[in-house]
């Protein structure tokens, strides 16, 4: 029998004689000249300018009211009361009034906002049990150690939902009342359900299920987070199907904000009632607030935000300003290159002088 010869030495490392490995494939390399580069810069500057102006005009059509109620009106008494640690967990009612000088047309979105609250801290974000929130019974009774020290209550029972994120849920509540210029009052009803992402409500968060047991019985043997006023299965007594881990307020809070100043959706104007069919009419509005969430410990602020939205989203000037700045820089570069090209000539002979 013959034996195959094995190549050795430099020939063994030589690439195959193919067009790809020997880099003989056809290629196209553009020639960058003033006639091709300068029109491109001017065109991109024009495109960015048009996009910036368009987005800026779109943002300007958004109506928005921000109301900081941290120490406004009777809420100042609640702010001072919650400075005392012994009053932690107590609810304090207060009232704030404001005027809407120009009617809000269309859908109106109500947000609560926090300032100087850092939800993006790593230890804070890790302090949760996603297995528990997805409805696993074993995680319900044995929370993850990532939730420490909010995994086991003082009574020795497991906390549901566990972790610092759930424990710090924003729990102020709002009730809006409208008073027309003719002094006719009407309650402002809000849609408080169906305001979460579909994937969160139907996939990421699920209640644990045990055959023939109610939600309260499923959560039997667990305790509520230390800062909560009620257990998770009683978060919304008016909507029994919105309790537990699929509660809209809980789901919205559990999606951590990227920046320390943020707002989260509280509700959407219910437009089936008069006089709110066309939106939010002019007049004076009163907010009855259940002031529960303390902010003095982290030097924070609380606010209510009423706003309309467009296809672009809320009132954010960053993107249109970014487009306008980019357009200005591109135009400046184009003009500079045009001046250089004009001075030294098309064929570059002036550069040799």
Asked if residue 75 belongs to a domain, the reply is: yes
* Phi, psi (degrees; rounded to nearest 5) at 301: -135, 155
- pLDDT recorded at residue 36: 86
| Distance linking the first and last C-alpha atoms of the chain | 78
Do 78 and 225 belong together in one domain?
yes
Residue 163 CB partners (closer than 8 Å, separation 6+): 127, 128, 129, 143, 146, 147, 150, 151
Asked if residue 16 belongs to a domain, the reply is: no
- pLDDT recorded at residue 88: 72
- pLDDT recorded at residue 353: 44
What residues of the chain score a pLDDT lower than 50?
Answer: 350-353
Work out the burial of residue 47: count CB atoms within 10 Å of its CB; fewer than 13 is exposed, 13-18 middle, 19 or more buried: middle
Q: Which domain holds residue 336?
A: 38-62+316-348
Asked if residue 13 belongs to a domain, the reply is: no
Please state the three-class secondary structure of 205-239 as a single string. CCCCCCCCCCHHHHCCCCECCCCCCCCHHHCCCCC
Do 232 and 327 belong together in one domain?
no
Dihedral (CA of 21, 22, 26, 30) sign: positive
- pLDDT recorded at residue 352: 46
Residues 105 and 253: beta-carbon distance below 8 Å:
no
Domains identified in the chain, total number: 2
């Amino acid at each position: 029998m013959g034996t195959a010869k094995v190549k050795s030495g430099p020939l063994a490392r030589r690439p195959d004689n193919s067009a790809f490995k020997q880099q003989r494939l056809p290629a196209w390399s553009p020639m960058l000249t003033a006639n091709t580069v300068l029109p491109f810069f001017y065109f991109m500057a024009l495109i960015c300018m048009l996009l910036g102006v368009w987005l800026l005009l779109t943002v300007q059509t958004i109506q928005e009211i921000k109301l900081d109620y941290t120490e406004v009106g009777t809420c100042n008494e609640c702010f001072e009361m919650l400075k005392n640690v012994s009053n932690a967990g107590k609810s304090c009612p207060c009232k704030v009034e404001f005027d809407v000088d120009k009617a809000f047309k269309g859908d109106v979105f109500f947000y609560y906002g926090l300032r100087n609250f850092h939800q993006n801290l790593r230890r804070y974000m890790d302090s949760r049990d996603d297995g528990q929130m997805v409805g696993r019974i074993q995680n319900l009774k044995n929370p993850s150690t990532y939730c420490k020290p909010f995994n086991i209550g003082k009574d020795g029972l497991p906390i549901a939902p566990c972790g610092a994120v759930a424990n710090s849920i924003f729990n102020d509540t709002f009730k809006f009342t409208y008073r027309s210029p003719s002094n006719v009052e009407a309650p402002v009803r809000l849609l408080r359900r169906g305001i979460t992402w579909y994937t969160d409500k139907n996939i990421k968060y699920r209640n644990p299920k045990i055959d023939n047991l109610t939600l309260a019985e499923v959560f039997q043997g667990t305790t509520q987070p230390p800062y909560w006023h009620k257990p998770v299965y009683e978060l919304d007594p008016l909507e029994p199907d919105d309790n537990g881990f699929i509660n809209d307020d809980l789901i919205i809070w559990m999606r951590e904000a990227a920046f320390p100043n943020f707002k989260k959706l509280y509700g959407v104007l219910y437009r089936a009632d008069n006089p709110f069919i066309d939106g939010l009419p002019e007049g004076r509005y009163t907010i009855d607030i259940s002031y529960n969430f303390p902010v003095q410990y982290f030097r924070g602020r609380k606010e209510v935000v009423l706003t309309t939205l467009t296809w672009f989203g809320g009132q954010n000037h960053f993107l249109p300003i970014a487009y306008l700045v980019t357009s200005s820089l591109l135009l400046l570069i184009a003009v500079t290159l045009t001046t250089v090209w004009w001075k030294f000539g098309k064929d570059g002979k002036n550069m040799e002088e």
